[in-house]
Amino acid sequence: MSARDLSVGIDVGGTNTDAVVLDDDGRVIAWTKQATTVDVTGGIRAALAAVLADIGTRRHDVSRVMLGTTHATNAIVRRRDLGRVAVIRLGAPASTDFPPLAGWPVELRDTILAGSLLAGGGHLVDGYPISSLDVDGIRRFLDEHTGTADAVAVCGIFSPSFPDQELEVASLVREHLGPDIPVSLSHEVGALGLLERENATVLNAALYRVAREVTEALLVAVADERLDADTFFAQNDGTLMAVEYAARYPVLTIGSGPANSIRGAARLSGAENAIVVDVGGTTSDLGVLVDRFPRESTLPREIGGVRTNFRMPDILSLGVGGGTIVDLANGVPLSDSVGHRISEEALVFGGGTATLTDAAAAAEPGVIAGRSLPSLDKATRGALIEALAIARDRIESAVERMSLGRTNLPLVVVGGGGFLVPDRISGASDVLRPERGNVANAVGAAIALAGGRADHMGDYADRLDAIEAASRQAIERAIQAGADPRTVEVVDVLETPVSYATRPTLKVSVKAAGPLARIERTDTPAPPVSYSTKGNS
Amino acid sequence: MSTTSEPLRLITRDDVAPLAAGAAVFGTGGGGAVHTVQLSVETSIERFGPVRLMQVSELGPDDAVILLSGIGAPSVGIEMLGASAQVHTLIAEVERIIERPVTAVMAAEIGGSNGVSPVGWAASLGVAVLDADGMGRAFPKSTMISMNVAGLASEFAVMGDVVGNVSVLRTLDMAWLERHARAFTVAAGGIAIGAHYLLTAETAPGAVIEGTVTRAIEVGRRLLASTDPVADMADELAADVLVGGKVIDIERLTEGGFTRGSVTIQGIGTDRGRLLRVEIQNENLVVIEDGEIIVSVPDLITIVDTETGEAISTELLRFGQRVSVLAWACDPLWRTERGLELAGPDAFGYDLEYVPFTPRTEAVR
């Protein structure tokens, strides 16, 4: 009985849907790039079919399929397929200065908001109640919104530290609106920071239909191929969640692309700590890999104009890519790019637009295999080379900025425009260009760990208890997301002291992660088409 | 410096973003983040209409001005947000004490979030905002306020929390007020708002720093419209750009409600080879280069993003950021003997002699 040791990673990007098959040693044994389709699902199916066709009978050894997708982001940005949400905030009279969804783009608010209630409830930082839970008020509100709300979002002040009230309200909601109404609870979605967490919770609730569609799309694609594989979704911090978890927390899939790209680049190059640059047609995106995980941004992130406090990879995006147009009169790169039309428009491809790809070809003939530049006059050639120097300078200073002064980190270069990065970069110990760097993001999805996170506020004196409590919860969540209970571990503990508290107080944020529970070959054949999800035990 | 324009008469919703950007510049690294409060002030003006901005010279015999400010932990402030009734409860108590209506409110400090929120409170209360503040910047302690320099006492203070508890404090001096206000804030769950220093047409002149709301809005407008933000900020503020460089080291720790530490900036471009250290206690206090003090508190030191010119508050400073350090002269009031005693280097525990900062650019002007 051989181990079913193949994983499929699929990454849905704006232009391409990439897929890879990885063996147990992390080798890429098949890969493809397909066009992303408008319905997204078509691209996923095409990519999955293409890599499975490549591996022949070994398709039976595929035990996992991991998907990183832009479904949720698209739905929010395009305001499509969003549900109407009844929002219940617990904490009145506190926070009444800031009504729910304040600061949202008006049309998005109008699309999503079925109604909101600022109800009594919530806690002070030390757990003392702000006011008692206004059960009657919540009941009345639910009665008013029966039939008009598709989903409910609940957000209580300091609920990440004291979640009981949100759970109580969730039961109230189900009693009133039926057991099938989707309910999003803020303590399960985000960290401290009321408005940002509430925004994320409301978006999550609004995405319930998208969540259903995307999880079904993956399950159908997998079932259509008759794969006996578990399915996972990549989330914003570079870890995976089981499909049933993704169905409940679709908002967590947002931002998984850059995280996958960083981890994939790391795996392909073998680095555990590195700076990663993904050079595309329009931008170069830089990230940092710290002990196997993407370094996270400390700044608030906006999704479709809505401020959230998700932990996203710390990405520095430069307007420098293979398709970046060069101003030949001044010898500088412009902010515009020919984007995916590069294979028609660049000089080296017989087009009429000077791009950074042409600049690289001018500096080092042969950089684009099988292509050479038409003969250029001296001024044009000079301008191209000057522009390339400026672009490389920008990349170099971005690397320096991301490295935080450490010069012993290697730079891993992936993406189609990797030739823009010189072989020596000040600020990096080495420049690595792994094979298959063009599908690093799909590789990242295929190798992602299952993870969970939890926040806890506690007395400084009980510091260890606070860390313990948060760790336990984070580990529980990682296992829920599919991690193997035997190998899951705490990978990050962040402590923040809180001033003006009754006693010295500490905020602890813990992240746990681990490899997915391993699956041995079963003797039962692959089931017929079925949409149900499977466990991971 | 730009020619001083006519003072504003009315603060509209569109003035809030510039006010917030300007207040961040005057926050000199502290004073709290302005984003959330900007949102609440904009919402407040949308609901209640624009706010009248009143000059000190316009104060009449019936006017009563009270200072309003928030106090508390930023990490609690992002979670337990203010109640709309909170400021009404507070002002009702003030009016009960002074036995007449409050007609205007004033920011205790123009720097940071406390420079922005009084505008929203004024909108909701239906009163004016005085075009002045008590610091002309941000400071960490309530003793460091212009009325205290002028020798004006605050006879009472009123504190209020999010649920509606109100406490009236009559303390011997500002130092005791600081202590009791902190105790109240702790009981309130880490965040509270306070009203103190009743000002009138008689007491306000000379005891407040005038024109600072208009200034903050002007600075913010210039910043938001600028294509060369650092140079324009320097021009607008009559400031020197001490260095353009990148952050290569940050030390930060929180003790007793204060963030202490330092940030080291290495010069780049024309400043290559230079190394500056900025000492921080909530605000940016001292700049040192080659062991020599270049600027110190109470003069103003703000670290801005080299590309956008936006002020970067202490908690958002990060390694590798491209920043420029701006310094400019404080209000003359802080350079008096009493001013320096309250808010000079000594008051922050620095054993150094204060040398008033003179921008190099001033000689050229």
Give the per-residue SS3 of A150-188: CEEEEEECCCCCCCHHHHHHHHHHHHHHCCCCCEEEHHH
Q: Which residues pair with A459 in a beta bridge?
A: A505
pLDDT digit string, tens, across residues A388-405:
999 999 999 888 878 766
Asked if residue A131 and residue A193 are part of one domain, the reply reads yes
SS3 of A213-225: the string is HHHHHHHHHHHHC
Q: What is the pLDDT of residue B48?
A: 96
Taking the CA atoms of B200, B204, B210 and B216 in sequence, report the sign of the dihedral they define: negative
Is A424 a domain residue?
A: no
Inform me whether the C-beta atom of residue A290 falls under 8 Å from chain B C-beta atoms: no
Asked if residue A97 and residue A28 are part of one domain, the reply reads no
Query: Are the C-beta atoms of residues A117 and A95 closer than 8 Å to each other?
Result: no
Asked if residue A260 and residue A173 are part of one domain, the reply reads no
Is A387 a domain residue?
A: no
Residue among B282, B358, B364, B264 at smallest CA distance from B320? B264
Q: What is the pLDDT of residue A280?
A: 82
Asked if residue A263 and residue A175 are part of one domain, the reply reads no
Q: The whole model's pTM is what?
A: 0.81
CB-based contact A400 B186, cutoff 8 Å: no
Distance CA B266, CA B243 (A): 8
Share of residues in chain B with pLDDT > 90 (%): 75
Chosen domain end from A178, A206, A234: A206
What range defines the domain where residue A129 resides? 83-206
Domain B228-364 bears CATH identifier 2.40.50.140: no
Which segments in chain A show pLDDT lower than 50?
1, 520-537
Share of residues in chain B with pLDDT > 70 (%): 95
Q: Name the residue among B79, B249, B321 with its Cβ closest to that of A158.
A: B79
Q: What is the pLDDT of residue B365?
A: 41
Q: Which residues pair with B69 in a beta bridge?
A: B194
Asked if residue A70 and residue A1 are part of one domain, the reply reads yes
Asked if residue A512 and residue A537 are part of one domain, the reply reads yes
Q: What is the pLDDT of residue A526?
A: 39
Distance CA B221, CA B240 (A): 20
Q: Domain residue spans in chain B?
A: 10-212, 228-364
CB-based contact A124 B190, cutoff 8 Å: yes
Is A426 a domain residue?
A: no
- Nearest residue of A to residue B319 by CA position? A404
Distance CA A334, CA A375 (A): 23
For residue B252, what pLDDT band results from cuts at 50, 70 and 90? confident
Mean pLDDT value across residues B113-128? 96
Asked if residue A230 and residue A197 are part of one domain, the reply reads no
Is A522 a domain residue?
A: yes
Asked if residue A70 and residue A138 are part of one domain, the reply reads no
Asked if residue A109 and residue A3 are part of one domain, the reply reads no
**What is the torsion angle, in degrees rounded to the nearest 10, for the CA atoms of residue A402, residue A404, residue A410 and residue A414?**
-10
Largest CA-CA distance found in chain A, in angstroms, rounded? 81
Mean pLDDT value across residues B57-82? 91
Asked if residue A54 and residue A31 are part of one domain, the reply reads yes
Mean pLDDT value across residues B319-343? 93
B10-212 has which fold? CV3147-like fold (3.40.1610)
- Please state, as a whole number, how many other Cβ atoms lie within 10 Å of the Cβ of residue B65: 25
Tell me the one-letter amino acid at B211.
Answer: G
Q: What is the pLDDT of residue A241?
A: 84
CATH of the domain at A244: 3.30.420.40
- Between A110 and B35, where is the model more confident? A110
Inform me whether the C-beta atom of residue A91 falls under 8 Å from chain B C-beta atoms: yes
Distance CA A479, CA B187 (A): 39
pLDDT digit string, tens, across residues A132-181:
999 999 999 999 999 999 999 999 999 988 889 999 999 999 999 999 99
Is A250 a domain residue?
A: yes
DSSP state for residue A244 in the 8-state scheme: H
Inform me whether the C-beta atom of residue A194 falls under 8 Å from chain B C-beta atoms: yes
- Between A337 and B33, where is the model more confident? A337
Q: Where are the beta strands (DSSP E) in B134-268?
A: 157-160, 166-169, 191-199, 209-210, 240-255, 258-267
Is A153 a domain residue?
A: yes
- Nearest residue of A to residue B315 by CA position? A298
Q: What is the pLDDT of residue B5?
A: 57
Inform me whether the C-beta atom of residue A535 falls under 8 Å from chain B C-beta atoms: no
From chain A residues 495-514, the ones with a CB under 8 A of any chain B CB are: 496-502, 507
Asked if residue A196 and residue A144 are part of one domain, the reply reads yes
Is A376 a domain residue?
A: no
Contacts of B85 (CB under 8 A, 6+ apart): A93, A96, B164
For residue B148, give both structure tokens. 């205290």
Domain count, chain A: 2
Element (H, E) at A399: helix A378-403
CATH of the domain at A169: 3.40.50
Asked if residue A243 and residue A181 are part of one domain, the reply reads no
For residue B188, give both structure tokens. 């309130």
Does the pLDDT of residue B117 top 60, yes or no? Answer: yes
pLDDT digit string, tens, across residues B135-191:
999 998 889 999 999 999 999 999 999 999 999 999 998 889 989 998 999 899 989
Distance CA A337, CA A322 (A): 8
Q: What is the pLDDT of residue A405?
A: 65
